[in-house]
Structure 1
Amino acid sequence: MFKGLKPIQYAGREVWPLIEGGKGVSATNHASSGAWAAAGGIGTVSAVNADSYDEDGNVIPQVYEGRTRTDRHQELIDYAIEGAVAQVERAHEIAGGKGAININVLWEMGGAEAVLQGVLERTKGKVAGVTCGAGMPYRLSEIAKQYGVYYLPIVSSGRAFRALWKRAYHKVPELLGAVVYEDPWLAGGHNGLSNAEDPTKPEDPFPRVKQLREMMRKEGISDDIPIVMAGGVWFLRDWNDWIDNDDLGKIAFQYGTRPLLTKESPIPDIWKDELTKIEEGDVLLHKFSPTGFYSSAVKNPFLRSLQGRSERQIPFSTEKAGEHTHQLDVGVKGKNFWVAAGDLLRAREWDGQGFTTALKTPDNTLVFVTPEERAMIRKDQADCMGCLSHCAFSSWKDHDNYSTGRLADPRSFCIQKSLQNIAHGADPHENLMFAGHAAYNFKTDPFYSNGFVPSVKELVDRILTGD
């Protein structure tokens, strides 16, 4: 047992202060989360587009029949509720009364409140708590109180937590299960970098977590309410100075990336195999996500194609003005596209390389793509089922008039499609592959030598040694 690590009280029982990160869209399901709980930790079922099953136990494909986006959006909510309920029930059975089961939702996912309420209504007594980030989930505490579960907000700064506490959480202090500090430079998936923070200059998490604890103390929150360190956590020995540290209070640790490579992990073998090839620096913090948030994912051909698309970008105006002195004669139809002389030459070069179609962005720029890319972008935008509360790629919004009012952005992509694809066996090179920045350890950690893939129990036991 790693020196100083002690069980914590959660949901009326003793559990290890080890939490499985709830990776969305079928990357964390009942098998992994139930096994994590059975090993004595807190397993986390992803309630983001989770899989549901037919009577024979086969995954039900999420096919959308609705003719309008609002119709498809309701189908998405129905799929999400059925899937998450199925995952929770199976995870609860696997856990066998050990550990605890949380669910995870993204506040910025489409229909988040409807999904959360629909799942909690049907899983009473089986879900201990709800972790929630990707936005400012002010209503999380109110919903938790309605169903008698803990809430665990995911924040990336003390300032963000204080805003949530002042506005809403102070009314439900008794159900605050923990505060998850997700390092915005190290965590996989969507990251909470603010406009004041430089994505290229990572900050030491210790002072930021210390500040979070100080803010919690000022609000009268007990040191027994854990702060969960998430992002970049691999070896517990790296965090030795955090355990039993009076400046931090009670600390727990969340593992998002490491549980991807276990026997119970539901991701396809082709994805697991790719994890073992990641080198240090292969995970990119980027801003291509249609959520508008920064996001960390493996620099694979899919991500590089998005990088290339944005690099093939020039500003334009609809009349001759300023630097825009030349009419664009490639990629567009009509004569009302004026660009700078140098950009005209670049556009002609891209056209010669096969990027013969220009698409407008909301920022008065044009990106150059192949005709095949254009067809895919337009189809994906037309097929939108409203998986986000606000989507830059399709201009969808899940309330009011169902439109963000901005031009759909071809520099982004359909995140629902890509994550469903990779989770169900499609080529990891051609889809978004989320991973934390410590994923290169799969290749260097001797625990995984000779192609060894542990069970969840073996992984938890290994983590408990400090390694």
Structure 2
Amino acid sequence: MSFKGLKPILYGGREVWPLVEGGKGVAVSNHASSGAWAAAGGIGTVSAVNADSYDPDGKIVPQIYDGLTRKERHEQLVQFGIRGGVEQVQRAHEIAGGKGAININVLWEMGGAQQILEGVLERTQGLVTGVTCGAGMPYKLSEIAARFNVHYLPIISSARAFRALWKRAYHKVADLMAAVVYEDPWLAGGHNGLSNAEDPRQPQDPYPRVKALRDTMRAEGIADSVPIVMAGGVWFLRDWNDWIDNPELGQIVFQFGTRPLLTQESPIPLAWKDHLRTLEPGDVLLHRFSPTGFYSSAVRNPFLRNLEARSERQIPYSKVEAGEHTARLDVGVGNKNYWVAPADLERARAWVAAGFKEGLRTPDDTIIFVSEDERAVIQKDQKDCMGCLSHCGFSAWKDHDDYTTGYLADPRSFCIQKTLQEIAHGGPIDQNLMFAGHAAFNFKTDPFYSNNFTPTVKQLIDRILTGD
């Protein structure tokens, strides 16, 4: 018997539990985790963001970019993305064995998103039930879904964003919209859809936001049987007791992104799994360092602390002596003429004396100070850019038109593709970005995980269905 009589829903022509595995990009939500989630009767999600592919011996093919230009490397990235996405879907489908459902997840802001999504769907017809897509405003999602006859599930963080998508595009393909994913911008892991009107330090209660989304959907004539998927911060179903069978909200489905990280089928390295068991409340930071320009949530490890420190060693400058910029900067920038406030000149000299000898300009008319080693890494990573985003603040790449954002590359950010590939494939967990949702501290206190217990996906779903 499931918690509070939680009932299966009809999705893609079969009954499934209203439990969705959250898609986690770059080789994390892969065939093993999503196939097992579907086999247990839920909706598994294969990430089609930099997915792994395999050689004839079943070993992961390293994604090596030897193209001479960024555009050539970007083309390689798209081909890797299609091949990996297809292989992951095929393997997940086999594991699922006709149970549950398999979705794929793409970020609209990834480089070549449309090409990769179309390439994967073309080669996996009949295997994919739906496409979840967020990170940006994916207006074309419904049109692509219609072309391949799959369901689509837009990921949004406010009723306003959904209404804009619906009015512009989705109303034309209403029949294939299987659900709307509300991803809480304060609680979800990975990239978050906080708008400029919202305060990252002031989380809002998701209930009124989801009710506003349902009200918007009803006003547009969308039936209550089209579920809203609650994503971000979901751990125990008992915490959501008053959401289930609630006429104000209509049909609710729950997405679990962080909990599936710690399962036997989860492909992340053991060191990452072990670290999840040590997290305390507040150890996941909502930050602005991502080269996407979005807020995102990740474990506040030395990698993230280093980015925080880098941004703290920052001063504004002007190219002419003006206003409070009356002191010529005489450290970190060679013979170039930059003018700063006298107090900032003293700070810059202190940073240089502490070993942060290199001044690097940012797009915001500021200069940050880094060590020589750090400068070398930043410049190499910027040079090696393979165009993994549609717009990258770190390298100033854009995946269309003239292939540049027109802005100065931002040294306060980092190469996201490099660090996510590294951590997913065994790189040091303290020197790479480690995405996690804000409820990850529960691993330490939830008795289900005591004595280092790591459940199978089936055991996890059985546990979730009890309310715990």
Instruction: With the length of structure 1 as denominator, give the TM-score of the two structures.
Output: 1.00
C-alpha separation between the residues in 1 aligned to 2:403 and 2:428?
A: 32
Secondary structure of 2:45 counterpart: strand
Cα distance, 1:65 vs. partner? 1.0
Residue of structure 1 equivalent to 2:224: 223
Q: How many residues align?
A: 467
Residue of structure 2 equivalent to 1:103: 104
- Structure 1 unaligned segments of length 5 or more: list them: none
C-alpha separation between the residues in 2 aligned to 1:221 and 1:35?
A: 32
Residue of structure 2 equivalent to 1:466: 467
Residue of structure 2 equivalent to 1:33: 34
Q: Structure 1, residues 348-404: CA drift from partner, whole Å, max 9, x if none?
A: 110011000000000110000000000000000000000000000000000000000
Residue of structure 2 equivalent to 1:259: 260
Residue of structure 2 equivalent to 1:67: 68
Residue of structure 2 equivalent to 1:316: 317
C-alpha separation between the residues in 1 aligned to 2:33 and 2:121?
A: 20
Cα distance, 1:329 vs. partner? 1.0
Residue of structure 1 equivalent to 2:304: 303
Q: Structure 1, residues 177-233: CA drift from partner, whole Å, max 9, x if none?
A: 100000000000000000000000000000000000000001110000000000000
**Correspondence 1:390 to 2:391:** yes
Identity of aligned residues (%): 74
Secondary structure of 2:337 counterpart: coil
Residue of structure 2 equivalent to 1:245: 246
Residue of structure 1 equivalent to 2:188: 187
- For the 8 Å contact 1:85–1:122, the answer to whether it is kept is yes
RMSD value, Cα: 0.4
Secondary structure of 2:104 counterpart: strand
Cα distance, 1:115 vs. partner? 0.2
- For the 8 Å contact 1:355–1:368, the answer to whether it is kept is yes
- For the 8 Å contact 1:133–1:154, the answer to whether it is kept is yes
Q: Structure 1, residues 400-438: CA drift from partner, whole Å, max 9, x if none?
A: 000000000000000000000000000111000000000
Secondary structure of 1:172 counterpart: helix
- For the 8 Å contact 1:4–1:244, the answer to whether it is kept is no
Residue of structure 1 equivalent to 2:271: 270
C-alpha separation between the residues in 2 aligned to 1:61 and 1:76?
A: 12
Residue of structure 2 equivalent to 1:353: 354
Corresponding letter in the other structure for 1:260: L
C-alpha separation between the residues in 2 aligned to 1:99 and 1:292?
A: 35
Cα distance, 1:325 vs. partner? 0.7
**Correspondence 1:380 to 2:381:** yes
Cα distance, 1:167 vs. partner? 0.2
- For the 8 Å contact 1:190–1:294, the answer to whether it is kept is yes
Q: Structure 1, residues 307-330: CA drift from partner, whole Å, max 9, x if none?
A: 000000000111111111111111
C-alpha separation between the residues in 1 aligned to 2:6 and 2:325?
A: 63
Q: What does 1:363-374 correspond to in 2, within 5 Å?
A: 363-374=364-375
**Correspondence 1:152 to 2:168:** no
C-alpha separation between the residues in 2 aligned to 1:34 and 1:303?
A: 32
C-alpha separation between the residues in 2 aligned to 1:266 and 1:242?
A: 32
Residue of structure 1 equivalent to 2:6: 5
Secondary structure of 2:191 counterpart: strand
**Correspondence 1:91 to 2:92:** yes
C-alpha separation between the residues in 1 aligned to 2:197 and 2:36?
A: 40
C-alpha separation between the residues in 2 aligned to 1:321 and 1:220?
A: 58
Q: Structure 1, residues 145-180: CA drift from partner, whole Å, max 9, x if none?
A: 000000000000000000000000000000001000
Residue of structure 1 equivalent to 2:215: 214
Secondary structure of 1:14 counterpart: strand
Residue of structure 2 equivalent to 1:50: 51
Corresponding letter in the other structure for 1:189: G
- For the 8 Å contact 1:30–1:91, the answer to whether it is kept is yes
Corresponding letter in the other structure for 2:143: E
**Correspondence 1:409 to 2:410:** yes
Residue of structure 1 equivalent to 2:171: 170
Secondary structure of 1:103 counterpart: strand
Corresponding letter in the other structure for 2:171: H
Secondary structure of 1:244 counterpart: coil
Residue of structure 1 equivalent to 2:114: 113
Residue of structure 2 equivalent to 1:16: 17
C-alpha separation between the residues in 2 aligned to 1:336 and 1:320?
A: 9
Secondary structure of 2:331 counterpart: coil
Corresponding letter in the other structure for 2:107: L
Residue of structure 2 equivalent to 1:432: 433
Q: Structure 1, residues 98-135: CA drift from partner, whole Å, max 9, x if none?
A: 00000000000000000000000000000000000000
Corresponding letter in the other structure for 2:94: E
Cα distance, 1:4 vs. partner? 3.0
Q: Structure 1, residues 241-270: CA drift from partner, whole Å, max 9, x if none?
A: 000000000000000000000000000101
C-alpha separation between the residues in 2 aligned to 1:382 and 1:336?
A: 26
Secondary structure of 2:187 counterpart: coil
Corresponding letter in the other structure for 1:420: Q
Cα distance, 1:333 vs. partner? 1.1
C-alpha separation between the residues in 1 aligned to 2:134 and 2:262?
A: 24
C-alpha separation between the residues in 2 aligned to 1:335 and 1:276?
A: 49
Corresponding letter in the other structure for 1:436: G
Corresponding letter in the other structure for 2:439: A
Corresponding letter in the other structure for 2:383: A
- For the 8 Å contact 1:4–1:243, the answer to whether it is kept is no
Q: Structure 1, residues 264-293: CA drift from partner, whole Å, max 9, x if none?
A: 000010111111111110000000000000
Cα distance, 1:334 vs. partner? 1.4
Cα distance, 1:335 vs. partner? 4.2
